[in-house]
């Protein structure tokens, strides 16, 4: 148990819009590592200047920074440069997963279905509206290219509200795109490395009490009903698990992730995205999926910690 002798620093907080979620994830991971007998330290980040000085106090980084530098690969790039061990996916996988458009292009190239979409490229709002209505139609979903926790995601059901929704998302979160709304079920699949192999965990169906699985539905206890495992037949379950694992691998993810998708009314799954740093809060999906597979929270965290081994092999130290 060589990792038990190492000092593990849990990075949490940060500057992204998901700071509050990160603090909750980080705290849970910290407690789990302590219960498992690891030497864990919380490192709450309020500015990026604090990252490098804190590395002097620890041996391994377990980042719980959702969104922003924590999830877009740039933080992991810093660790690669410094040859500092960290948990989770590589720079490239994180960067691809964070950019929903690049991820969609890769999924489609691998025959993994995603909702049809159009990209906003700075055209006039009137031209854009015509383009969206021609190609995607209403209802549609406006989304930032690189954000998480449903921030900036808006469902548009009235064409007169389309431009307003796009402008709001753009002003809050920058570049955005518009996707066809997929009516149906909301499904998520955790992926976890178990016995040396990345595997899809039992599926979860999410039934939010809100219009969609938005920030409030995600993080307010009681706002979403979780059906674990999702009530789907074995064949459909296996098809979706296979799709999620392939999506995880297509982006080059390693060790753990969470894959979100919509299961359309005709039972066709559409990939939404892969999260390389899934939430670890009390209402988060990855811990729930792991539990359905018989893996308790502390064991999940320990399995996540062991992905450090792979990074250690990949980067020459
Ligand atoms: N094409 C879509 N059709 C229906 N609902 C969608 C669609 N895209 C996103 N949503 C809703 O918005 C939520 C957030 O979208 P997602 O692409 O997973 O981004 P985020 O990174 O913010 O989680 C989804 O969980 C779902 O409830
Ligand atoms: Mg999502």
pLDDT value for 317: 40
| Active site (annotated) includes residue 18 | yes
Ligand 1 centroid to Cα of residue 104, in Å, is 13
Ligand 2 centroid to Cα of residue 54, in Å, is 31
Residue 49: DSSP 8-state:
G
Pocket test for ligand 1, best of 117, 153, 214, 226 (most atoms within 8 A of CB): 153
| Active site (annotated) includes residue 260 | yes
pLDDT value for 316: 44
pLDDT value for 123: 96
- Looking at every residue in the chain, the average pLDDT score rounds to 94
pLDDT value for 74: 95
pLDDT value for 149: 86
Alpha-carbon distances of 277 from 101, 111, 268, rounded to whole Å: 18, 25, 26
Average pLDDT in the 136-164 region? 95
Q: What is the pLDDT of residues 248-269, one digit of tens each?
A: 999 999 999 999 999 999 999 9
pLDDT value for 22: 95
- Relative to the CA of 260, which ligand 1 atom is closest? 18
Bridge partners (DSSP) of residue 110 are none
Show the tokens assigned to 189.
Answer: 């699949």
Query: Which residue has tokens 């969470």?
Result: 258
pLDDT value for 314: 58
Among 9, 16, 18, 19, the active-site one is 18
Nearest ligand to residue 154 Cα: 1
* Residue of higher predicted confidence among 222 and 316: 222
Write the residue with the smallest CA distance to atom 15 of ligand 1. Answer: 150
Pocket test for ligand 1, best of 150, 217, 225 (most atoms within 8 A of CB): 150
CATH of 117-180, one of 3.40.190.10, 3.30.1490.20, 3.40.50.1220, 3.40.50.150: 3.30.1490.20
pLDDT value for 83: 92
pLDDT classification of 201: cutoffs 50, 70, 90: very high
Ligand 2 centroid to Cα of residue 260, in Å, is 5
Delimit the CATH 3.30.470.20 region(s) of the chain.
96-113+183-304
In the predicted model, is pLDDT for residue 283 greater than 90?
A: no
Integer Cα distance of 251 and 94 in angstroms: 8
pLDDT classification of 1: cutoffs 50, 70, 90: low
pLDDT value for 310: 66
- Relative to the CA of 181, which ligand 1 atom is closest? 3
* Residue of higher predicted confidence among 147 and 114: 114
pLDDT value for 206: 97
Angle at the Cα of 168 (from 167 to 173), degrees rounded to 5? Answer: 100
Pocket of ligand 1 (CB under 6 A): 115, 141, 143, 147-150, 153, 179-182, 186, 212-213, 260, 262, 272-273
Delimit the CATH 3.40.50.20 region(s) of the chain.
2-87
Ligand 2 centroid to Cα of residue 7, in Å, is 32
Q: pLDDT > 90: what percent of the chain?
A: 91
Q: Which fold has domain 96-113+183-304?
A: D-amino Acid Aminotransferase; Chain A, domain 1 (3.30.470)
Average pLDDT in the 223-234 region? 96
Alpha-carbon distances of 285 from 20, 166, 227, 280, rounded to whole Å: 17, 29, 11, 8
Overall CATH class of domain 2-87: alpha beta
In the predicted model, is pLDDT for residue 39 greater than 50?
A: yes
pLDDT value for 125: 98
Among 257, 258, 262, 270, the active-site one is 258
Delimit the CATH 3.30.1490.20 region(s) of the chain.
117-180
């Amino acid at each position: 148990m060589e990792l038990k002798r190492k000092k593990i620093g849990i990075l949490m907080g940060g500057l992204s819009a998901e700071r509050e979620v990160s603090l909750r994830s980080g705290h849970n991971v910290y407690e789990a590592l302590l219960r498992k007998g690891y030497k864990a330290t919380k490192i709450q980040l309020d500015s990026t200047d604090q990252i490098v000085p804190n590395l002097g106090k620890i041996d391994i980084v377990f980042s719980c920074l959702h969104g922003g530098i924590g999830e877009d690969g740039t933080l992991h790039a810093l660790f690669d440069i410094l040859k500092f061990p960290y948990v989770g996916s590589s720079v490239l996988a994180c960067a691809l997963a964070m950019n929903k458009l690049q991820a969609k292009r890769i999924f489609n190239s691998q025959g993994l279905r995603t909702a049809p979409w159009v990209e906003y490229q700075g055209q006039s709002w009137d031209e854009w509206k015509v383009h969206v209505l021609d190609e995607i139609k209403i209802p549609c979903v406006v989304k930032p290219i690189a954000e998480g926790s449903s921030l900036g995601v808006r469902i548009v059901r009235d064409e007169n509200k389309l431009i307003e929704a796009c402008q709001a998302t753009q002003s809050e979160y920058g570049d955005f795109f518009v996707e066809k709304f997929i009516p149906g079920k909301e499904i998520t699949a955790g992926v976890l490395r178990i016995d040396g192999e990345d595997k899809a965990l039992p599926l979860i169906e999410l039934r939010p009490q809100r219009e969609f699985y938005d920030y409030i539905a995600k993080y307010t206890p009681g706002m979403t009903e979780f059906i674990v495992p999702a009530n789907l037949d074995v064949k459909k379950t296996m098809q979706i698990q296979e799709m999620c694992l392939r999506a995880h691998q297509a982006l080059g993810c390693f060790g753990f992730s969470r894959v979100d998708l919509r299961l359309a009314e005709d039972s066709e799954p559409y990939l939404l995205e892969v999260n390389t740093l899934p939430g670890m809060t009390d209402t988060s999906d990855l811990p729930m999926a792991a539990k359905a597979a018989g893996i308790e929270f502390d064991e999940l965290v320990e399995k996540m910690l062991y992905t450090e081994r792979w990074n250690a092999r990949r980067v020459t130290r």
